[in-house]
Structure 1
Amino acid sequence: MGSANVASTLVYMAERCTSMRYLKLIHAHAYRTCLHQHTVVLGKLFRFVAVSPFGDLSYAHNMFDQMPHPSTFFYNILIRAHSHSTTPSFSTLFFNRMRQNGVAPDEFSFTFLLKSRSFTTPFVYDTHGAVFKFGFSRHLHVQNTLIHLYAVGGVTLSAGRVFEDALKVGLDVDVVSWSGLLVAHVRAGELDVARKIFDEMPLRDVVSWTTMLSGYSQAKRPREALALFQEMRFAGVWPDEVTVLSVITACAELGDGEMGRMVHRFVDENGFGWMVALCNALIDMYGKCGCLEEAWCVFHRMKRKSLITWNAMMMVCANHGNADDAFRLFEWMIDSRVVPDGVTVLALLVAYAHKGLIDEGIRLFESMQRDYGVEPRIEHYGAVVDMLGRSGRLQEAHDLLTSMPIPSNDVIWGALLGACRIYGDVDMGEKVIKKLLELKPNEGGYYILLRDIYVAAGRTVEANEMRQAMLASGARKTPGYSWVEA
């Protein structure tokens, strides 16, 4: 067989390679037939070892080191490989090595390099300069990558400038360019600006619709998210799983069970039901909408359950006062050899509180690090403080707060102040308000709560003094609070 035929056969085999073991056999045969430096054969072998999920990047390095004069193509493959690896900084190393060896970069070199720079510092500014220096500012693909990298960092000004530069040099900006600009403003939290850009886009694909919708959902603007979803459907754009996840989150935020059921039907009818993340979101959504039966239905139908699945269902049960169901789920979870985490423990603490099992909850809190390797966080302390406060054990709650090894916050102290109001404990209320005013001196609502405690105890002089203290401090009254007595 002639060398051309052998080379063609090796290329064919390399293109269908599925393992490093098979690749090494092909590589060895290339050596035996003196085709190991054949450009096409070497290119196919090198691409597999460097970028295939079944490849071996260290083997690719060995191959590269044996090339006498690697071309831009081979440098690009290594730059690309490292841009997707745990060592993205190596992309810069090989780019610099390419330039030192007099090998000219092309547009693909910069595309792969820019992607790698999103994971390293200093971000992309130095690479942006190199793009201009080597004359690739007229390549739309390179400019789009620059826009998206600035967008990921929320650097709206730079993303906008690249977009404008692309227009100035006569590039026909596409949906990818516009989407990058959109992502930049969404990441920066500038949703109104982002919506203006979205409305101006000449063409919108599922990515741009989902970016805008997700921005609304993450910013706790669920009504706008759901309205946009309806527009998306009317426009005939087919949502993907990321879109659907954002819509489910918006339904949960609004407590819109009807819309949630509609989205659930869409999930089932379009083959998304196998996706664990979507099912987890559905469980959480149904729980927040008070639809426990539907939450259980999703849970039981799931063939694969993640830790988040168990936690979501446990938290739904705990929040709705179904403590026994939460405890049974926990036992089932342990029997399934799923390791609990901090959210699991929090769900159990909430369940204990609803059940009135305060001492059991405290024992769990005290043993969580020893038994489950979970270090108590602020939310666990908050759950226990709330548990103790609701049961009237205010001094224990105060002692726990003052002995916390981590910083407290106004929310957790505010829960104790609320308990002081319920039980009319003036002395404890005074201690708590002192701490709260240290943490948040301009919050007028705390003054009002303490005043209410004074009024309930018949101590009108102190109540009036508290009103004057608030006015003198310039603290603002929280909406919903009032000085007017019922």
Structure 2
Amino acid sequence: SNNGKLDDTSKIFSKMPQRSVVSWTAMLTAYARSGHLVQARRLFDSMPARNEVTWNVLIGAFASSGDLEFAHQCFDAMPERNVFSWGALFDGYSQSGQFGRARELFDLLPFKDVIAWGMMLSACVQNSRIEDAGSLFDRLPEADTISWGFIIAACAQAGHFEESKMLFDSMSGRGVVVWTTLAASYGQHRNMEISFAMFQKMAQWNIVSLNAMISLYGQNGYMDEARALFDGLPEKDLVSWNAIVAGYAQNGQLHEAKELFLQMPCKSVMSWNAIVAGNAQNGASPEALELFSLMELEGDRPDEVTILAVIFACS
């Protein structure tokens, strides 16, 4: 069971001779994602050092659970906040239907970049405030295609496909970014037929849209189609390689994932995370640990996602 795995992971963590803030944060994340908030809070209180990621994990966990009062207390207690700190609390208020509190938080934001505006637009849509979204969009510093992409994606992500399509159709100049955004949003909601049809209708494709399609095929289990698209790319970038490796790993096709992984001309931490996590989640723990050792030998630094995958593999 998941509880048994978490107990085993906790025992392994407690026996670690040296624990960095990364390993502490990985264990905290494991508790938070499993809904064990009492243990998460206890672990947080016993941590010798914390960073912004640690605080954000705790805020996000309690905000998602509906305990917004404690989440806000943590937010207020943070020594320094980043956009993810604001976003975690904001999402909690938005998802619980407290649109007014979410709006107050947005108004207090010291920095309002396109991500922050997109976050607010998404909240409008999630709470069926389409008119508010429209008036907010008119206030955007630069109503460019990226901003349009955000509001369209926000509508689609919240399941408001009719509204997102209506906004899309109302655009005078639809660039490849907006086409890709809407098509990807449909695919992420398992509407692959509509997603594929939109990609087919695009006037021009670029590496971004092709990579998005490979990723969507992988997420939905269409690995033959993903591989055909990958093999047909005139040029492949790091995102192309990561998308195909992650697709095979997520679908349990570990031999194919490793074969392509070893062919990669260069690797990022995301590449390592895809292959290590894929093996760990599919029961190939020895292989996951072997790949983690190889990562260290090649001089690549693991992040919280890598550490969490290794803890999972050990359990």
Q: Tell me the TM-score normalised to structure 2 length.
A: 0.57
User: Hey, what does 1:396 align to over in structure 2?
Assistant: 256
Deviation at 1:256, TM superposition (A): 6.8
User: Hey, what does 1:315 align to over in structure 2?
Assistant: 184
Unaligned runs of 5+ in 2: 1-80, 91-101
CA offsets per residue over residues 235-264 of structure 1, 9 Å max, x none? Answer: xxxxxxx97956532336879723873542
2:227 maps to 1:358:
no
Unaligned runs of 5+ in 1: 1-215, 233-241, 370-374, 453-486
Identity %: 18
Deviation at 1:219, TM superposition (A): 6.6
Q: Judging changes above 3 Å, is the alpha-carbon distance between structure 1 residues 267 and 276 closer, same or farther for their aligned structure 2 residues? A: farther
Q: Judging changes above 3 Å, is the alpha-carbon distance between structure 1 residues 431 and 253 closer, same or farther for their aligned structure 2 residues? A: farther
Please give the secondary structure, in 1, of the residue aligned with 2:232. Answer: helix
What's the RMSD between the two structures over aligned residues?
A: 3.7
Please give the secondary structure, in 2, of the residue aligned with 1:424. Answer: coil
Given that 2:280 and 2:310 are in contact with CA atoms closer than 8 Å, whether structure 1 keeps it comes out as no
2:139 maps to 1:278:
no
**Mean alpha-carbon deviation: is it higher for 389-398 or for 250-259?**
250-259
Given that 1:317 and 1:325 are in contact with CA atoms closer than 8 Å, whether structure 2 keeps it comes out as yes
Please give the secondary structure, in 2, of the residue aligned with 1:368. Answer: coil
Give the alignment of 1:349-428 within 5 angstroms. 349-369=214-234, 375-405=235-265, 407-428=266-287
CA distance in 2, matches of 1:226, 1:367: 46
Given that 2:124 and 2:133 are in contact with CA atoms closer than 8 Å, whether structure 1 keeps it comes out as no
Give the alignment of 1:431-470 within 5 angstroms. 431-438=290-297, 439-440=300-301, 444-452=307-315
Q: For 1:324, which of 183, 193, 198 is the aligned residue? A: 193
- Greater relative contact order structure (CA < 8 Å, 6+ sep): 2
Q: Judging changes above 3 Å, is the alpha-carbon distance between structure 1 residues 398 and 302 closer, same or farther for their aligned structure 2 residues? A: same
User: Hey, what does 1:227 align to over in structure 2?
Assistant: 104
Given that 2:122 and 2:155 are in contact with CA atoms closer than 8 Å, whether structure 1 keeps it comes out as no
CA offsets per residue over residues 275-301 of structure 1, 9 Å max, x none? Answer: 544322211222343433322221122
Letter in 1 for 2:288: G
CA distance in 2, matches of 1:427, 1:282: 44
Please give the secondary structure, in 1, of the residue aligned with 2:190. Answer: coil
Given that 2:121 and 2:133 are in contact with CA atoms closer than 8 Å, whether structure 1 keeps it comes out as no
CA distance in 1, matches of 2:128, 2:116: 9
CA distance in 2, matches of 1:437, 1:446: 15
Q: For 1:306, which of 155, 163, 175 is the aligned residue? A: 175
Given that 1:284 and 1:316 are in contact with CA atoms closer than 8 Å, whether structure 2 keeps it comes out as yes
Given that 2:145 and 2:177 are in contact with CA atoms closer than 8 Å, whether structure 1 keeps it comes out as no
CA distance in 2, matches of 1:399, 1:229: 46
Letter in 2 for 1:227: E
Please give the secondary structure, in 2, of the residue aligned with 1:221. Answer: helix
Given that 1:255 and 1:288 are in contact with CA atoms closer than 8 Å, whether structure 2 keeps it comes out as no
Given that 1:314 and 1:329 are in contact with CA atoms closer than 8 Å, whether structure 2 keeps it comes out as yes
CA distance in 2, matches of 1:435, 1:288: 37
CA distance in 2, matches of 1:228, 1:379: 34
Letter in 1 for 2:301: K
Q: Judging changes above 3 Å, is the alpha-carbon distance between structure 1 residues 387 and 247 closer, same or farther for their aligned structure 2 residues? A: closer
CA offsets per residue over residues 27-79 of structure 1, 9 Å max, x none? Answer: xxxxxxxxxxxxxxxxxxxxxxxxxxxxxxxxxxxxxxxxxxxxxxxxxxxxx
User: Hey, what does 1:343 align to over in structure 2?
Assistant: 208
Report the structure number with the largest CA radius of gyration: 1
Letter in 1 for 2:224: D
Please give the secondary structure, in 1, of the residue aligned with 2:233. Answer: helix
CA offsets per residue over residues 133-187 of structure 1, 9 Å max, x none? Answer: xxxxxxxxxxxxxxxxxxxxxxxxxxxxxxxxxxxxxxxxxxxxxxxxxxxxxxx
Given that 2:245 and 2:274 are in contact with CA atoms closer than 8 Å, whether structure 1 keeps it comes out as yes
Q: Tell me the TM-score normalised to structure 1 length.
A: 0.39
CA distance in 1, matches of 2:231, 2:104: 46
Q: How many correspondences in the alignment?
A: 218
Q: For 1:429, which of 269, 274, 288 is the aligned residue? A: 288
